[in-house]
Amino acid sequence: QVQLVESGGGLVQAGGSLRLSCAASGRTFSSYHMGWFRQAPGKEREFVAGISSSGGSTYYADSMKGRFTISRDNAENTVYLLMNSLKPEDTAIYCCAATRRWASARPADFGSWGQGTQVTVSS
């Protein structure tokens, strides 16, 4: 229902930082709760962070809490994921996703997905 395009991925050394962006189409962006997910080779897709439609509430997986920050700018139809203190185990394809109703942090609860952007953290 909403088109999402991620950008900002790349190669970074362990301990470094990276900011991902997710640009959404249309004026209905502010109606969606947004999430970031990641998937590494051989592993299932996992929840990284989420943010409410207004930006008033944020949610993080335990392993990301304190290192990653999700934010949004509804005027610019964009969601961000700031990743600090990156570790090699953070290497994955990162995707943003949208949902009208927040049910859980499971990928199946999000109906719209971006194409993903690769993040590679070297040791």
Query: Counting every residue, how long is the chain?
Result: 123
CA distances from 89 to 18, 82, 86, 104 (A): 15, 16, 8, 24
Helix (H/G/I), strand (E/B), else coil: 65: strand
In this prediction, residue 26 carries a pLDDT of 76
Provide φ and ψ at 71, rounded to 5°: -150, 170
Helix (H/G/I), strand (E/B), else coil: 25: coil
Q: pLDDT of the chain along its 123 residues, tens only?
A: 799 999 999 999 999 999 999 999 977 899 999 999 999 999 999 999 999 999 999 999 998 889 999 999 999 999 999 999 999 999 999 999 999 999 999 999 999 999 999 999 999
CA distances from 85 to 31, 66, 91, 112, 122 (A): 32, 9, 13, 29, 12
In this prediction, residue 46 carries a pLDDT of 96
